Amino acid sequence: MRLELVKRPQQSTLFSALSPFIAFGLTIVAGAILFAALGKDPIETLYYYFIDPLTETWSLHELAIKAAPLILIAVGLSVCFLSSNWNIGAEGQFIMGAIAGSILPVLFPDFQFWFVLPLMLIMGMAGGAAYAFIPAILKVRFNTNEILSSLMLVYVAQLFLDWLVRGPWRNPQGFNFPETRNFHEYAILPEIWSASGRAHWGFVFALVAAFVLWFMLSKTLKGFEVKVIGQSPRAGRFAGFSAGRMVVFAFLVSGAMAGLAGISEVAGAIGQLRPTISPGYGFTAIIVAFLGRLNPLGIVAAGLILALTYLGGEAAQISVGLSDKVVRAFQGSILFFVLACDTLIHYRVRLVRPAQKAEAAHA
Amino acid sequence: MLEAILLTVSMAATPLLLAAIGELVVERSGVLNLGVEGMMIMGAVTGFGVALMTGNPFLGALAAIIVGALFSLLFAFLTLTLVTNQVATGLALTLLGLGLSGMIGESFVGQPGVRLPRLDVPFLSELPIVGRLVFSQDMIFYVSVFLTVAVAWFLFYTKAGLTLRSVGDNHNSAHALGIKVVRIRYLAVLFGGACAGLAGAHLSLVYVPQWVENMTAGRGWIALALVVFASWRPLRVLAGAYLFGAVSIGQLHAQALGIGIPSQLLSALPYIATIVVLVLISRNRRLTMVNTPASLGRPFVPDR
């Protein structure tokens, strides 16, 4: 018995639509097995993972807070991945965006006007984009592998933030805690609907960004260029598209999105800089991008699901005593199922017995 | 003093060397497995856990090899049988490995580990300097050096090695010649996984006999960079690994001396050095084009 793949003449539209759902279903089954193996009631644990966080208003707000950075980063990454540029350093661009955006409230705390916040957001995007420009220009000019350079820059960014908050940017009135001063009121991203919970405008930015990039990718020439270069660089050259310029464009877009996510997280959810400002959003966003099939609208749904696993992980820890470390293992397995199910889109999968194969050869 | 420093350099270099040698064979067969970091951390947690439970660090190392290989089998099944995107699948393997190892190792945090003992080679270990450096090390060090030489010999002086390289350079021609492309790639990926698993075990059984979450700290990625740096040549991997070992030990010593440079900048040095070296190597297009396996990362579906 062996698996055999037969290429479909065309992509299967049925499986294009179904594959994320099959993948998610398989993840649920795998999760249930995992929970059972850890000695927990699988049904109850799954309930706390995926249903319980949706039952209360405040936790819906938390969901929006967690989903905002995931969606923002992932829609940016979709432009990269669709054009075959493997930016896996979004975590670093997130951090650099947060740092660049925090310059005003940290270094000029007396500079308090209404336009501080818009400036911060712009600087955050610029910071993330500038940091993403490094692997892009190295790839274009020196042919340097962008996967490795963008990933190495994540560690550099984390150490840079650590140095800032323990050194020059440490709060002078902070009792030596490694954190910056708290942002003043003009530097805080307001809550969307503060009467019901603390979700901030970052979630709205994420929805807008998803819509804008969806429009760009599916309705404009630029989006066509992204896809052509991604699928066939040669065809792209014949069409007169510049692959080098596309590298820079894709990295700048995804860097800016990650930077915006970073400054929104700091100005919205945290309110100051700390040594660690992200539970790995930049890496989880890779999973989000693929689960959303690199389609910005799909990514909105995928971002909400992955955000739910963060919340569900907390809920399951409190209610059934499941370790919060399980979340990352669970998230990692989602990507496997998504990739495996994507095979169904391009290929028919058949089980072949050796005897059958011999017969087929004779016939 | 110098002897002690050189010894720590070789300890820092050994896991990089092992993981990179494994990945080199994988990439020579035309497969790009970005999951090195994930396989390494799985090896680290397995090695530590088994050594802790059985009290035998050799069993720990053996278990790490097996788990590393089994974990890579997941990657092989997806990319070789289901023909998924190799870059994305490798990333998935790393993310899953980091998550799973954190979960498995939760109860190991803070526990004192079991150190892999040194094995002295009789007589030779009493030689001045060289004796302590080369002939009085842990088992994994000997394995890493032996594997480097063995892989260099296998790839360039045996028929099987030639077959493996031909699969990596042109899988369609190899397939037309009746070579089992997918089977060879499966074996190569398994070998890479076993090497990465052992490299991880070196971290948790020799380098710092402890379990710390995310303790690989990007070493798997540096190993991937080393393969590029070495332009897919085993002996250059050896040189590169020791160069990086020297950088990472050098920055630790500089931190200990406290020479006024922020410790974070020093900690960032190995990562910055990786980028600089990659740029220097890859700008020389002729060098990289000659040695890069031509089918690297390309999907292969046999047309019957």
Per-residue pLDDT tens over the stretch B22-37: 999 999 999 999 999 9
**Which residues, other chains included, contact B37 with Cβ-Cβ below 8 Å and sequence gap of 6+?**
B94, B97, B98, B216, B218, B219, B220, B221
Residue of B nearest to A89 (CA): B91
Question: CA-to-CA distance for A190 and A186, rounded, in angstroms?
Answer: 9
Specify the pLDDT at position B129. 73
- Residue B44 pLDDT > 90: yes
Q: What is the pTM of this model?
A: 0.92
Residue among A142, A163, A335 minimizing CB distance to B262: A163
Size of interface A-B (CB pairs under 8 A): 134
Angle between helices B2-28 and B219-229 (to 10 degrees): 70
Written in H, E and C, the secondary structure of chain B is CHHHHHHHHHHHHHHHHHHHHHHHHHHHCCCCCCCHHHHHHHHHHHHHHHHHHHCCHHHHHHHHHHHHHHHHHHHHHHHHHCCCCHHHHHHHHHHHHHHHHHHHHHHHCCCCCCCCCEEECCCHHHCCCHHHHHCEEEHHHHHHHHHHHHHHHHHHHCHHHHHHHHHHHCHHHHHHCCCCHHHHHHHHHHHHHHHHHHHHHHHHHHHCCCCCCCCCCCHHHHHHHHHHHCCCCHHHHHHHHHHHHHHHHHHHHHHHHCCCCCHHHHHHHHHHHHHHHHHHHHCCHHHHHHHCCCCCCCCCCCCC
Put simply, whether B92 touches A (Cβ < 8 Å) is yes
Question: CA-to-CA distance for B208 and B103, rounded, in angstroms?
Answer: 20
Structure-derived torsion over alpha carbons of residues B138, B140, B146, B148, reported in degrees to the nearest 10: -130
Question: Which residues in chain B are contacts of A15 at CB distance < 8 A?
Answer: none
**Which residues, other chains included, contact A91 with Cβ-Cβ below 8 Å and sequence gap of 6+?**
A154, A157, A158, A258, A278, A280, A281, A282, A283
Chain A contacts in chain B segment 261-280 (CB below 8 A): 262, 264-265, 267-268, 271-272, 274-275, 278-279
Q: Cβ distance B297 to B75 under 8 Å?
A: no
Residue of A nearest to B103 (CA): A325
Q: Is the CB of B96 less than 8 angstroms away from the CB of A333?
A: yes
**Which residues, other chains included, contact B108 with Cβ-Cβ below 8 Å and sequence gap of 6+?**
B45, B48, B49, B52, B211
Q: Enter the tokens of residue B91.
A: 């990333």
Report CA torsion sign: B51, B53, B54, B59.
Answer: negative
Put simply, whether B239 touches A (Cβ < 8 Å) is no
Question: CA-to-CA distance for A337 and A328, rounded, in angstroms?
Answer: 15
- B2-291, CATH topology level: ABC transporter involved in vitamin B12 uptake, BtuC (1.10.3470)
Q: Enter the tokens of residue A6.
A: 């037969």
Q: Residue A125: helix, strand or coil by DSSP? A: helix
- Residue A91 pLDDT > 80: yes
Question: CA-to-CA distance for A237 and A232, rounded, in angstroms?
Answer: 9
pLDDT range class, residue B298, cuts 50, 70, 90: confident
- Whole-Å CA distances, B48 to B55, B104, B119, B240: 10, 11, 19, 27
Q: Is the CB of B88 less than 8 angstroms away from the CB of A339?
A: yes
Residue of A nearest to B77 (CA): A340
Q: Cβ distance A225 to A241 under 8 Å?
A: yes
**Which residue, among A80, A95, A67, A69, has the nearest Cα to A253 in the 3D structure?**
A80
The predicted model gives A335-354 an average pLDDT of 84
Q: Is the CB of A340 less than 8 angstroms away from the CB of B84?
A: yes
Phi, psi of B137 (to 5 degrees): -120, 180
Q: Is the CB of B282 less than 8 angstroms away from the CB of A156?
A: no
Residue of B nearest to A142 (CA): B283
Q: Is the CB of B106 less than 8 angstroms away from the CB of A325?
A: yes
Query: How close B125 comes to chain A (CA, Å)?
Result: 38
Put simply, whether B78 touches A (Cβ < 8 Å) is yes
Q: Which of A56-60, A153-157, B142-146 has the lowest mean pLDDT?
A: A56-60
Residue of B nearest to A351 (CA): B81
The predicted model gives A277-281 an average pLDDT of 93
Query: Taking CA B186 as the corner, what is the angle to CA B185 and CA B189, rounded to the nearest 5 degrees?
Result: 85
**Which residues, other chains included, contact A158 with Cβ-Cβ below 8 Å and sequence gap of 6+?**
A91, A92, A95
- Residue A363 pLDDT > 50: no
Residue of B nearest to A333 (CA): B96
Q: Cβ distance A49 to A312 under 8 Å?
A: yes
For residue B283, how far is the Cα from the chain centroid?
24
Specify the pLDDT at position B14. 94
Question: CA-to-CA distance for A235 and A225, rounded, in angstroms?
Answer: 10
| Identity of the highest mean pLDDT range in A99-108, A180-189, A309-318, B100-109 | A99-108
Who wins on pLDDT, B211 or A359?
B211
Pairing of strands A2-7, A347-352: antiparallel
Pairing of strands B118-120, A347-352: unpaired
pLDDT digits (tens, 9 = 90+) for B211-226: 998 999 999 999 999 9
User: Which run of H or of E encompasses A12?
Assistant: none
Q: Is the CB of A339 less than 8 angstroms away from the CB of B282?
A: no
User: Which run of H or of E encompasses A3?
Assistant: strand A2-7
- Residue A291 pLDDT > 70: yes
State the maximum Cα–Cα separation within chain A, in Å, rounded to a whole number.
85
Residue among B83, B96, B272 minimizing CB distance to A336: B96
Q: Enter the tokens of residue A109.
A: 């705390």
Question: Which residues in chain A are contacts of B76 at CB distance < 8 A?
Answer: none
Q: What is the mean pLDDT of chain A?
A: 90
Specify the pLDDT at position A1. 63
Residue among B85, B89, B274 minimizing CB distance to A148: B274
Question: Which residues in chain B are contacts of A81 at CB distance < 8 A?
Answer: 88
Query: How close B1 comes to chain A (CA, Å)?
Result: 29
Phi, psi of A128 (to 5 degrees): -65, -40
The predicted model gives B216-243 an average pLDDT of 93
Specify the pLDDT at position A354. 65
Put simply, whether B292 touches A (Cβ < 8 Å) is no
Residue of A nearest to B217 (CA): A155
Residue of A nearest to B299 (CA): A343
Q: Is the CB of B275 less than 8 angstroms away from the CB of A160?
A: no
Q: Is the CB of A343 less than 8 angstroms away from the CB of B265?
A: no
Question: CA-to-CA distance for B278 and B228, rounded, in angstroms?
Answer: 7
Q: Cβ distance A325 to B99 under 8 Å?
A: yes
Question: Which residues in chain B are contacts of A138 at CB distance < 8 A?
Answer: 275, 278-279
Q: Residue A286: helix, strand or coil by DSSP? A: helix
For residue B259, how far is the Cα from the chain centroid?
32
